[in-house]
Amino acid sequence: MTIFSSDVTKPASTPAPPGFRKRFPLATLIAQRLGLSALLLVAVSILIFVGVEALPGDFASTYLGQAATPEAVANIRADLGLDKPVATRYVEWLSGALHGDFGMSWASHASVSQQIANRLGNSLFLAFAAAIIAVPLAVGLGMVAVLFRNRVPDRLINVVSLAAISLPEFFVGYLLILFFAVELGSVPFPATVYRGMPLFDRLEAIALPTATLVLVVLAHMLRMTRAAIISVMASPYMETAELKGLPSYLAILRHAVPNAIAPIINVVALNLAYLIVGVVVVEVVFVYPGMGQYMVDAVTVRDMPVVQACGLIFASVYILLNMMADIAAIIANPKLRHPR
C-alpha cells in the first residue's frame, strides 16, 4: 500500500522563542526612551547652532563698533573661526560639547565651561528650593480639592490657581519686590549670592525668586493633579471602595493616587523642567547670578558660544527630565509596558 505524504503525521512544530521585547518589555522601553532622547538632543543641537548662526548682526562688527573697517572685521572673524563652513564649525562645537568644552567666550575671553560651572549651581539651587516647596504643596492641595470637590475649599483653590496661572512670572516677581522689598524691606533685593555664602543668608537672598517660581508652577501642578485623581475616582473599583464604607481620604490615598501617579509624574517632571529652563526671566528680574542671567547678558553682546552652550544645557535638562518622567511612569504603571 502506497503511503501518501498527506497520511504521514507531521511532528508538532516547536513554538518560536519569545523575542527580547516580549521577554523584557521594561528594558526594551527604557532603551527606546534613551535612544529617542539621544536623537532628539542631536536634532535640538542642530537647531540651536543653526538658529544662533541665523541671528541678524555680527559679533565682530558689534565688538569693533561703527568705525570698524572691513579688514579689521575680517581679521576678527578669522581669529574666531567664523570664516570656516557652518558644518565644520558645528561638528567642532558638538565634539567639544560632548567633552565638556564649550570654547572661549568672545566677550570676556574666559572659558565658557568654567563660567557655566560657576553659575549652573546657583540655578539648580534656586530650582531645587522651589521644587521642594511646590511639588508636595501641589499634590497635597490637589488631593484636598478632590476631597472637598465642588465645595468651598475646592472652589477657593480653583480660583486662586487660575489667577496664578493668568499672571506672568515677571509680573508676579515685580509685585513681590514692590511689597516685600520696597514697602516692607523684609527681604533683600537684588538676590545676590556668592560662593561660600552661609546657607541661611543664601536662603534669605533667594526668598523672592523662589516664591515667584513656586506661585508660577504650583497652580499648573495642582490643577493637573486634581484632574488626574478625579478621572480615577470615576472607576468602578473606587465606587466599590466607597460602598464598602472606606472613608474618602483613605480611598484617595490607597486607590486613586497610586493609579493616577503616571500623569502626576509627567506634570511634575514638566514643571521641574520649567524650573530649570524657565528660570531665565526670574533670574533677570531679581538680578540673580545664574544661567539665565548669564545667557541674557551673552545675547546682549552677541556672545554666540555662551548662547549656544546655555541653550544646549537647557535643552539637555529638559529632555533628561522628560525621559525620566516617561521611565518613571512606565515603572509605576504596568499597563504601559505591554503593547495594546
Residue-wise pLDDT for 142-156, tens only, equals: 888 887 888 888 888
State phi, psi for 111 to the nearest 5 degrees.
-65, 125
Cβ-Cβ contacts under 8 Å for 311 (sequence gap 6 or more): 48, 52, 295
Where is pLDDT greater, at 60 or 163? 163
Residue 218, domain CATH: 1.10.3720.10
pLDDT for 5-14, tens place per residue?
444 444 554 5
In a domain, 61, yes or no: no
Q: Is pLDDT above 50 for 204? A: yes
Q: Cα(182)–Cα(216) distance, rounded to whole angstroms?
A: 22
337 CB neighbour count, 10 Å cutoff: 14
Domain interval for residue 235: 119-303
Question: Given this model, what pLDDT does residue 5 score?
Answer: 45
Instruction: Report pLDDT digits (tens) over 89-119.
Output: 888 888 888 888 888 887 778 888 888 888 8
CA distance 150 to 322: 32
173, amino acid identity: G
pLDDT at res. 187: 82
Q: How far is CA 185 from CA 177, 181, 188, in A?
A: 9, 4, 7
Q: Which of 77-91, 191-205, 242-256 has the lowest mean pLDDT?
A: 242-256
**Rounded mean pLDDT, 274-278:** 75
Q: Please list, in sequence order, all residues whose beta carbon lies within 8 angstroms of the beta carbon of residue 28, skipping any fewer than 6 positions away.
A: 20, 21
Instruction: Show the cell assigned to 189.
Output: 533685593
Q: 261 with 333: CB under 8 angstroms? A: yes
CA dihedral 120, 204, 130, 121 (to 10 degrees): 10
Distance of alpha carbon 106 from alpha carbon 298, whole angstroms: 9
Between 12 and 139, whose confidence is greater? 139
Q: Is residue 13 part of a domain?
A: no
**Are 318 and 272 in contact, with CB atoms under 8 Å apart?**
no
Of 169, 142, 139, nearest to 153 by C-alpha is 142
Structural domain includes residue 265: yes
Please report whether residue 264 resides in a domain. Answer: yes
Beta-carbon contacts of residue 96 (< 8 Å; ≥ 6 apart): 102, 103
Contact 116, 101 (CB under 8 A): no
Q: How many CA atoms lie within 13 A of 161 on its CB side?
A: 22
- 7 within domain boundaries: no
In the structure grid, which three cell numbers stand for residue 37, read together?
A: 532622547
What's the chain's average pLDDT? 78
Q: Which residue has the higher pLDDT, 245 or 140?
A: 140
The rounded distance, in Å, linking the Cα atoms of 293 and 281 is 8
Residues 6+ apart with CB under 8 A from 134: 213, 214, 217, 218, 221, 271, 275
For the chain, what is the domain count? 1
Compute the C-alpha angle 302/307/309, nearest 5°: 145
Helix (H) or strand (E) holding 137, with range, is helix 112-147
Residue 51 grid cell = 538658529
- Asked, for residue 141, whether it belongs to a domain, the answer is yes
Task: Give the Cα-Cα-Cα angle 180, 181, 184 (nearest 5 degrees).
Answer: 55
Q: Dihedral sign, CA of 178, 184, 189, 191?
A: negative
pTM for the model: 0.73
Residue 103 and residue 112: Cα distance in Å, rounded? Answer: 6
**What type of residue is 107?**
A
User: Which residues is 104 bridged to in the sheet?
Assistant: 111
Whether residue 123 lies inside any domain: the answer is yes
Amino acid at 172: V
In a domain, 272, yes or no: yes
